[in-house]
Amino acid sequence: MVWNETKGNLFMGFVLLIFSIAMIIGARNFEKSQFLELGPDLFPIIIGSMIAGLSLILIIISALKLRSAGAADTNSEKPIIYTGIKRVLIAIALLAGYVIMIVPIGFVISSSAYMLAKMCFLAEKLTRRKVIIYAIMSILVAFIANFIFVRFFWLMLPRGIFGF
């Protein structure tokens, strides 16, 4: 089996569409606010809907390209296994792990762990100094995001095992 960029885009469009649907369904399980109509599910649903829409656009464009190119376009073919797909699937697995862990261990801890893992994964050369900087950045960003969502938007984010 051969793989080209258009087939890869079509495949990733379907993967992201499935992921976005799971994200929207998962966001519905967040604890609702007793005082406000808007809950912590608002932003994940908005982002999931945007990802779903963009995925559909990618699927349509890729399908139209494949249809117009037909079987004659074999110049850009590569073996099915190459690092680009592997890196995208690892990134999606990290994000899925984050979505699964956000409710049981809380927003701050799971967000910090996710950002640290993602930064380390995307770093070209990983040194001890970079890991420390990434850890500090991820913890700060998670606490700041938690503060903004809770204090300004009055959203109830998952608190997790430590209560914050």
Q: Tens of pLDDT along 120-159?
A: 988 888 899 999 999 999 999 999 999 988 888 787 888 8
Would you say residue 8 has pLDDT above 70?
yes
Query: What is the percentage of the chain residues whose pLDDT exceeds 70?
Result: 84
Write the burial class of residue 25 (CB in 10 Å: 0-12 exposed, 13-18 middle, 19+ buried): exposed
pTM: 0.55
* Residue 113 to residue 28: CA distance in whole angstroms: 23
Specify whether the CB–CB gap between 150 and 157 falls below 8 A: yes
Q: Which of 64-73, 82-91, 136-145 has the highest mean pLDDT?
A: 136-145
pLDDT band at 34 (very low <50, low <70, confident <90, very high): low
Dihedral (CA of 6, 115, 161, 38) sign? negative
Would you say residue 3 has pLDDT above 60?
no
Which residues, in sequence order, are CB contacts of 44 under 8 Å at separation 6+?
A: 23, 24, 26, 27, 30
Specify whether the CB–CB gap between 126 and 145 falls below 8 A: no
In this prediction, residue 46 carries a pLDDT of 87
